[in-house]
Structure 1
Amino acid sequence: MSKTVRHRWWWTLWSLVAASAVGIGVFSISVYITGDPDRTPIPLDPDVAAHYVSILVHALPSSLALLIRPFQFVTRLRTRHPRLHRVAGRVSWCASRPERSSP
């Protein structure tokens, strides 16, 4: 397989993954950014007082990470704008920390 064909395949696959990640991230942010428990597509357990808060702690940072992470793989971004790449990486890393603390 030639370098041009591999490059085209990489961009095709990256585009599919990026479109999926951004689509999920935008949907999730649009639902949870309002803070309205009635808009959540997940049924809330009325016996658990902080159920909606736990969903927010998971959904909002995850959405931010989904919006940022696909662009971390773009070589042009890494080489031409390394500071932006590093800042985006740090924001993405920090956004994924609340998920790690969940059981």
Structure 2
Amino acid sequence: MTAAGTAPSPTAPAPAARAARPVRWWRRPWIAPLALVTAVFLVTALPRYVGLDPALSLVPTDRGPAFYPALVTHIFAGSVMLTAGVLQLWPWLRARHPRVHRWSGRTYVAAALVTGVAALVTAQFPSGGAGQQVANTFLAVLLLACTLLGFRAVRQRRFADHREWMVRSAALAFSIVTNRFWGPVLILVYVPGALTDGDVAFGDPRIEGAAVASAWVSWVVNLLLAEWWLHRRKPGPAHRR
């Protein structure tokens, strides 16, 4: 018996070649909407802080001398983090341009660390009381922890662990975007008609309650969805190979 009987067909792609094929865009249809939503968020939120004028801030800034500098740092670094995060989650870029993926990953990690530290500062000056303070502090700590664990895993070449930690980090990072959705929804739940009547403002207990709920829901739901996506199916023997 010759070895030719067991040799793979010359027309069949090798397993390594199949694994190296980039994921087609239609198999990850969420990347374009994610990029669009992120771009809209940055275009609408970032210009208010470019001029460093506290009067243009979306949130009250009379919370001590450390609040506004930390807020601006958080927003600028967060903008870089979200932009790099979109690039990191783009399968085509990761497969076709691994060097760009590595550099955007380093940018994401650096920006996420700065964003998380600044968020720890701003979290101590909540508009919604202790509930919002705890929620934002938890968010900042978890963002820092997941990002550092993901970076440590890739340095140790534990790529599966790296992927999982960075998915969690990205889910937490994009909570600032989903907060723009949950905020108005929860205001309507807590104060029906508030967005049209115009008879409520910062300091209203009902608005504070909606702010606390939004501070929790915006990242908890993201993290739960990330965990579901990571563990939605158990890999079989063929997938492990």
TM-score range (shorter-chain normalised) is 0.7 to 0.9
Normalising by structure 2, report the TM-score.
0.36
What amino acid is the match of 1:77?
L
Structure 1 SS opposite 2:78: helix
Note the C-alpha offset of 1:7: 5.6
Flag structure 2 segments of 5+ consecutive residues without an equivalent. 1-23, 121-136, 138-241
Alignment-derived partner of residue 8 in structure 1: 26
Is contact 2:74-2:116 (8 Å) kept? no
> Given the alignment of the two structures, is residue 70 of structure 1 paired with residue 86 of structure 2, yes or no?
yes
Flag structure 1 segments of 5+ consecutive residues without an equivalent. 1-5
Alignment-derived partner of residue 39 in structure 1: 56
Structure 1 stretch 65-74 or stretch 25-34: which is displaced more? 25-34
Normalising by structure 1, report the TM-score.
0.76
More helix by share: 1
Is contact 1:24-1:66 (8 Å) kept? no
- Report the Cα distance in structure 1 between the residues aligned to 2:64 and 2:105, rounded to whole angstroms: 34
Go from structure 1 to structure 2 and tell me whether the alpha carbon gap of 1:8 and 1:82 turns closer, same or farther (over 3 Å shift).
closer
Structure 2 SS opposite 1:44: coil
Note the C-alpha offset of 1:34: 2.1
Aligned pairs for 1:48-67 (under 5 A) are: 48-67=64-83
Is contact 1:64-1:92 (8 Å) kept? yes
Q: Deviations over 1:36-66 (max 9, x none)?
A: 2222111111x50122101112111111111
Structure 1 SS opposite 2:46: helix
- Report the Cα distance in structure 1 between the residues aligned to 2:70 and 2:83, rounded to whole angstroms: 20
Note the C-alpha offset of 1:77: 1.1
Q: Deviations over 1:67-89 (max 9, x none)?
A: 22112122221122211111111
What amino acid is the match of 2:93?
L
Alignment-derived partner of residue 93 in structure 1: 109
Go from structure 1 to structure 2 and tell me whether the alpha carbon gap of 1:83 and 1:7 turns closer, same or farther (over 3 Å shift).
closer
- Report the Cα distance in structure 2 between the residues aligned to 1:85 and 1:7, rounded to whole angstroms: 17
Note the C-alpha offset of 1:9: 5.8
Note the C-alpha offset of 1:91: 0.8
Say which structure, 1 or 2, has more relative contact order (CA 8 Å, 6+ apart).
1
- Report the Cα distance in structure 1 between the residues aligned to 2:45 and 2:76, rounded to whole angstroms: 7
Choose 1 or 2 for highest CA Rg. 2
Go from structure 1 to structure 2 and tell me whether the alpha carbon gap of 1:91 and 1:54 turns closer, same or farther (over 3 Å shift).
same
What amino acid is the match of 1:82?
P
Identity %: 26
